[in-house]
Amino acid sequence: MTATAPARWVPPDPQMVPEWRAQLVDYAASNPSNITMREAIRSGRCSIVPTMRNAPIEADTLAAILLNKAERARLEEAQLYYATADMTALALAAAATPPRERVSVDRVPAESGFIVFGEPIGGYVEDVGAALAGTVAARPGVDAKVTTPIVAASWTVWTPEDVNVEGAPVTWGHITSDGYAPIPPGTRGIWVTYYSPRGLFSGLPPETVLGTMRDGSVMTAGLIEAEQQAVPGGPLNWDNEVLLTDGAEFETARPDTTDVWSHTLYTAWQLMTATSGTRWADVEEIPRERAGRKRDARQGITGPSAVRVVNVHTAHRPPREAAAADAAASSGRREPSWSCRWPVRPYRRSTCLNPRGHAAGECQHEDRIVPGHIKGPQGAPLRTGTTVHLWDRQPEADA
């Protein structure tokens, strides 16, 4: 078997996030993007699909609807975010147990958003030979596996009435592990798209055999890498999507699926929007340069061009040495370890917002994320009190 080489995904400078969004907006309207989406539909990776008068829609038309009416529109309106490596690791640590509160559209920090993470929030391993089996590209004896990291997400608060096709009524359906089910009119939820990096076949030796090209020649990792680099569209691929229905319960996640990534993304929203209890996030806004704002306007981008950099609040930020140790232990292609940053994970507390109605079941609960042992030796007690220490720099190990 050909193992994936340790080729790390390198996050962008936060100032590049607006440019990445602009490239994704352009790519969504391109023919290569339509082809990619069409293949995703045929392979069952799209979970939110429309039908027209209860009849199937051709894959090309369906891809165009999903890209232009949903994906591109969502990105054009998105507020931009960049979660630092520490913030990503904190969200992963807290998301080790599923959110206890039900899905709430009030948890999103903006109605439409696009976030890039400083570390992967998960990933999956794909057996290339098995993936191509039964297709014209299949080749006997292929034994290669590739790890695909998930590094970004976009979202919007959505109802089935938000996306229409001119001249024809559209009924939306939701594909889950239980099969296909129509989405009732008036349903409210959060439509999330997850992205993986382009070009990570470079993690395999270029000569690795993956399959057969259309002309019958050998398909190698190097050839696929070159083809990907030749197609414009920026550094990200549309990878998968999910609908988080307002009021639904989070369940135990199936490994390496949108379940895991959604737990982490939702936890990141909880950390970013917490207004009571512990303050978890520091946010810095970086404006886009004037030329970039003009290009955004010409593209039809109506969302903010500034990017909000989200970091762990200085009161809870781990020492540099601990963060460096965790980064060194990470492959850069999967979610990172937090064994040094947070020896004891932060944990969830389900807080009743209406205790008087609790006994009768007439209350509402929300998650509050409680600090674990953020700094100091493992097993040391967490000090709490009313004193507030303001740091203007990241603390060192002996802080």
Lowest mean per-residue pLDDT among 198-202, 258-262, 302-306: 198-202
- Please state, in angstroms and rounded to a whole number, the distance separating the CA atoms of residues 27 and 231: 10
Print the domain residue range for 140.
Answer: 14-370
pLDDT > 90 fraction of the chain, expressed in percent and rounded = 40
| Any domain includes 359 | yes
- Total tally of structural domains belonging to the chain: 1
In which band, very low, low, confident or very high, does the pLDDT at 5 lie, cut at 50, 70 and 90? very low
Structural domain includes residue 383: no
Residue 7 lies in a domain: no
Determine, yes or no, domain membership for 54. Answer: yes
Distance CA 266, CA 172 (A): 24
How far is residue 49's CA from residue 242's CA, in Å, rounded to a whole number?
A: 11
**pLDDT given at position 84:** 97
Span 149-194, pLDDT tens digits? 999 999 999 998 877 666 566 788 887 777 788 899 889 999 999 9
Residue 225, in any domain of the structure: yes
Lay out the sheet containing 189-197: strands in order across.
Answer: 236-245, 189-197, 152-158, 112-117, 79-83, 307-312, 281-286
Q: Is 215 exposed, middle or buried (0-12, 13-18, 19+ CB in 10 A)?
A: exposed
Residue 92 has pLDDT above 70, yes or no: yes
Distance CA 189, CA 247 (A): 8
Residue 72 in any domain: the answer is: yes
In a domain, 393, yes or no: no
pLDDT computed for residue 51 by the predictor: 77
Q: Regarding predicted confidence, which is higher, 111 or 358? A: 111
Q: Is the model's pLDDT at 388 over the cut of 50?
A: no
pLDDT at residue 355, as a whole number:
79
- Is residue 96 in a domain? yes
- What is the SS3 string spanning the chain? CECCCCCCCCCCCHHHHHHHHHHHHHHHCCHHHHHHHHHHHHCCCCCEEEEECCECCCHHHHHHHHHHHHHHHHHHCCEEEEECHHHHHHHHHHCCCCCCCCCCHHHCCCCEEEEEECCCCEEEEEEHHHHHCCCCCCCCCCCEEEEEEECEEEEEEECHHHCCECCECEEEEEEECCEEEECCCCCCEEEEEEEEECCHHHHCCCCCEEEECCCCCEEEHHHHHHHHHHCCCCCEEEEEEEEEECCCCCCCCCCCCHHHHHHHHHHHHHHHHCCCCCCCEEEEEECCCHHHHHHHHHHCCCCCCCEEEEEECCCCCCCHHHHHHHHHHCCCCCCCCCCCCCCCCCEEEEEECCHHHCCCCCCCEEEEEECCCCCCCCCCCCCCCCCCCCCCCCCCCCC
Convert the pLDDT of each residue in 30-58 to its tens digit.
Answer: 888 888 888 888 777 788 888 765 566 77
Q: Give me the pLDDT at residue 384, please.
A: 37
What amino acid occupies position 271? L
pLDDT tens-digit profile of 262-303?
Answer: 999 999 999 999 877 788 999 999 999 999 999 999 999 999
pLDDT band with cut points at 50, 70 and 90 for residue 386 = very low
Identify the pLDDT of residue 137: 87
Residue 57: the pLDDT is 72
* pLDDT at residue 130 in the model: 87
Question: Worst-scoring range by mean pLDDT, 78-82, 224-228, 332-336?
Answer: 224-228
What's the mean pLDDT in 341-370?
79
Mean per-residue pLDDT, 91-119: 94
Q: Looking at the chain, how many residues does it have?
A: 399
Tokens of 381: 């007690």
In this model, does residue 1 exceed pLDDT 50? no
Comparison of pLDDT for 148 and 79, the residue scoring more = 79
